[in-house]
Structure 1
Amino acid sequence: MAHSAPDPDSAPLPSSAEVVIVGGGVIGASVAFHLAEAGVRDVLVLERDEPASGSSGKPIGGIRAQFSDPLNIGLGQRSLEAWRTFADRPGADIGIDSVGYLFLLGDEEEVETFRQAVVVQNELGVPSRIITPREAHELCPYLDPRSIAAAAFSPADGFALPGAAVHGYLRAARRLGATVRTRCAVTGFDTEGGRVRAVRTDSGTVRTGTVVCAAGAWSAALGAMAGVDLPVTPLRRQIALTGPLSPAPPRIPFTLDFASTMYFHNDRAGGLVLGLSDARQEPGFGREFSREWLEPFQEAALRRAPALAGLPARSGWAGLYEMTPDRNALIGRAASVEGFLYATGFSGHGFLQAPAVGEIIRDLYLDRTPFIDVGPLSAARFEGSGAAVRPEAHII
Structure 2
Amino acid sequence: MSSTTVRTVPPAADVVIIGGGVMGVRTAFHLAEAGVANIVVVERRDLGSGSSGKPIGGVRAQFSDPLNIELGSRSLRAYRDFPRRPGADIRLDTVGYLFLLTSDRQAADFEAGVAVQNGLGVPSRMIGPGEAQRLCPYLGTDGLVAAAHSPADGHARPALVVRGYARAAARAGVTFATHTAVTGIDTTGDRVTAVHTDRGRIACATAICAAGAWSAEIGAMAGVGLPVRPVRRQLAFTAPLTPPAPRIPFTIDFSSTAYFHNSDDGLLFGLADPDQPDGFDTTWTPEWLELFRAAVRHRAPALADMETAGGWAGLYEVTPDHNALIGRSRELGNFLYATGFSGHGFLQAPAVGEVMRDLHLEREPCVDIAPLSADRFRTGTGTRPEAHVV
One fold, TM greater than 0.5? Answer: yes
For residues 30-109 of structure 1, what are the structure 2 equivalents within 5 Å? Answer: 30-58=26-54, 60-109=56-105
Distance in 1, matches of 2:226 and 2:56, equals 25
Quote the residue 1:308 is aligned against: 303
**Among candidates 285, 288, 301, match of residue 283 of structure 2:** 288
Query: 1:361: how far off?
Result: 0.4
The match for 2:344 is: 349
Q: Measure, in 2, the Cα distance between the counterparts of 1:263 and 1:95.
A: 20
Contact map agreement 2:19 2:41 (CA 8 A) in 1:
yes
1:15 aligns with 2:7: no
- Provide structure 1 residue ranges, at least 5 long, that are not aligned to the other structure: 1-5
Q: Distance in 2 between matches of 1:195 and 1:338?
A: 6
2:363 aligns with 368
Runs of at least 5 residues in structure 2 that lack an aligned partner in the other structure: none
Q: Which residue of 2 aligns with 1:133?
A: 129
Q: Is the 8 A contact 2:324 2:342 kept in 1?
A: yes
Q: In the TM superposition, what whole-angstrom CA distance separates every residue of 1:187-221 from its partner, at most 9, and x where no partner exists?
A: 00111122111111100111101000000000000
Counterpart amino acid of 2:242?
S
Letter in 1 for 2:96: G
Residue 108 (structure 1) shift:
1.6
Contact 2:18 2:209 survives alignment (8 Å): yes
The one-character-per-residue Cα deviations of 1:60-113 (angstroms, maximum 9, x if unpaired) are 300000001101000000000000000100111100000000001112211111
Task: Name 1:198's counterpart in structure 2.
Answer: 194
Spell out structure 1 runs of 4+ moving beyond 2 A: 6-9
Pick from 117, 120, 126: which aligns with 2:116? 120
Once the two structures are superposed, residues 304-330 of structure 1 have per-residue CA deviations (whole angstroms, 9 ceiling, x without a partner) of 100001011220010000000000000
| Whole-angstrom CA distance in 2 between matches of 1:30 and 1:283 | 27
TM, length-normalised to structure 2:
0.97
Whether 1:323 and 2:315 are equivalent positions in the alignment is: no
**What SS does the aligned partner of 2:276 have?**
coil
Aligned runs of 1:378-389 on 2, under 5 Å? 378-383=373-378, 385-386=379-380, 389=381
Query: For 1:299, which of 279, 294, 302 is the aligned residue?
Result: 294
Residue number in structure 1 paired with 2:385? 393
The one-letter code sitting in structure 2 at the alignment partner of 1:85 is D
CA contact (8 A) 2:101 2:145 kept: yes
Matched, 1:227 2:235: no
8 A contact 1:263–1:275 mirrored in 2: yes
**Partners of 2:216 and 2:229 within 8 A in 1:** yes
Assess if the C-alpha contact under 8 Å between 1:59 and 1:319 holds in 2: no
What is the Cα deviation at residue 7 of structure 1?
A: 7.3
SS of 2:343's equivalent? coil
Amino acid at match of 1:392: R
TM-score by length of 1: 0.96
Task: Specify the code of the residue in structure 2 equivalent to 1:258.
Answer: F
Equivalent pairs: percent with the same residue? Answer: 59
1:19-68 deviation per Cα after TM superposition (whole angstroms, max 9, x unaligned): 00000000001000000000001111011100011110026300000001
* Structure 1 residue aligned with 2:247: 251
Q: What is aligned with 1:339?
A: 334
Shift of 1:292: 2.8
Find the aligned partners of 1:374 and 1:326 in 2 and give their Cα distance: 15
Contact 1:328 1:377 in 2 (8 A): yes
CA contact (8 A) 1:61 1:161 kept: yes
Contact 1:198 1:205 survives alignment (8 Å):
yes
1:27 aligns with 2:36: no
Deviations, residues 258-288 of structure 1 (Å, cap 9, x unaligned):
10000000011x1000010110101100000
Structure 2 residue identity aligned to 1:21: I
One-letter amino acid of the structure 2 residue matched with residue 395 of structure 1? A
Shift of 1:143: 0.3
In the alignment, residue 316 of structure 1 is paired with which amino acid? G
Match of 1:278 in 2: 273
**Contact 2:89–2:160, Cα closer than 8 Å, also in 1:** yes
Task: Report if the CA contact (8 A) 2:99-2:147 is conserved.
Answer: yes
Cα deviation, residue 167, structure 1: 0.9
Letter in 2 for 1:152: A
Alpha-carbon RMSD? 1.2
Compared CA separation, residues 317 and 272, structure 1 to 2 (3 A):
same
- Equivalent runs, 1:134-153 vs 2, <5 Å: 134-153=130-149
Q: Say whether the 8 Å CA contact 2:44–2:178 is kept in structure 1.
A: yes
How many residues were matched structurally?
387
CA distance in 1, matches of 2:239, 2:57: 18
Q: Name the SS for the 1:170 alignment partner.
A: helix
